[in-house]
Amino acid sequence: MLSSRHILGMDDLSTEDITRILDTAESFAAVNERRIKKLPTLRGLTVVNLFLEPSTRTRTSFEIAAKRLSADGINFTASASATVKGESLRDTAATLAAMSCDLVIIRHKYAGAPRMLTEMMDCSIVNGGDGIHQHPTQALLDLYTMKQRLGHLEGLRVGIVGDIAHSRVAGSLIPALLKVGAIPVVIAPPTLLPARPDVLGAEVSWDLDEVLPTLDVAYMLRIQMERADGMPFPSLREYARFYGMNSARLAAMKPSAIVMHPGPMNRGVEISADVADSDRSLVLEQVESGVAVRMAVMYLLLGGADSGAAA
């Protein structure tokens, strides 16, 4: 059990909750190694993926997690949904509530949308990414991945590099790192920092090269190249020159240090191809961890109170 029925943001989770999720994920990861990966744990329960913004990776990850726990997973996506016909989110939520689901994962373009669902529905709600606010399961799988590779979380210096101002990944990862005793450092040009980075509790730097040797993890955020209204830096080339991860920068890091990325990557922009494919890059491990961590989240929200023996 967790201390909250919902996971809307990292504030809903205590440090103990995080530990419980990561430990549970570890046992599910073992299941994911088997040839038959399915458990009967959530049989008969309905999990809705309410994805009102395009997403393949996160939706697929939740979908696989639900299936591996034998839940009935339903996809309610933007193109197929009524929302494109002008139905409000509240009406969509009321409609889903009337169909009695047990868990809704919502991805939406606007901050605070998961909270609206909790006002309309009795079931558990998991935030699958809301606007530029939070994306808590991404942060949880990132913690899990770091812990698997580096053995511990406390005291790790994690540099988060890129568009901090518009990143829901950073919005959850920063508080998540703080809760487990790690040290987040946000690294970006001033135009990609939020108005008051100090309130996030992270160290702030404009200079990647200066910070790099002190980091245990370089977490590269995706640069949104499709942004239309005035790029916040002169060119992708210039961005890569100052903030891109490449082999020279990797060499400047501690030998044990790792590189992470929430995907999808822009090779040659925030991360060079050789680093992305190196054994210091944990990009695919993150994807793999995603399934186990989301299984753990679903299991702890819906299922087993104290059985713990997930596997």
Binding site for another protein (CB under 8 A): 8-9, 11, 88-90, 108, 110-113, 115-116, 130-134, 168, 171, 194-197, 199-200, 229
**Residue 166 CB, nearest approach to another protein (Å):** 9
HSE value, Cβ hemisphere, 13 Å, CA-based, for 90: 2
**Residue 34 CB, nearest approach to another protein (Å):** 38
User: Which is nearer to another protein, 43 or 227 (by Cβ)?
Assistant: 227
User: Which is nearer to another protein, 113 or 188 (by Cβ)?
Assistant: 113
**Residue 194 CB, nearest approach to another protein (Å):** 4
User: Which is nearer to another protein, 143 or 193 (by Cβ)?
Assistant: 193
**Residue 9 CB, nearest approach to another protein (Å):** 7
User: Which is nearer to another protein, 169 or 295 (by Cβ)?
Assistant: 169
User: Which is nearer to another protein, 110 or 254 (by Cβ)?
Assistant: 110
Buried b (16+ CB within 10 A) or exposed e, 273-287: eebbeeebbbbebbb
**Residue 130 CB, nearest approach to another protein (Å):** 7
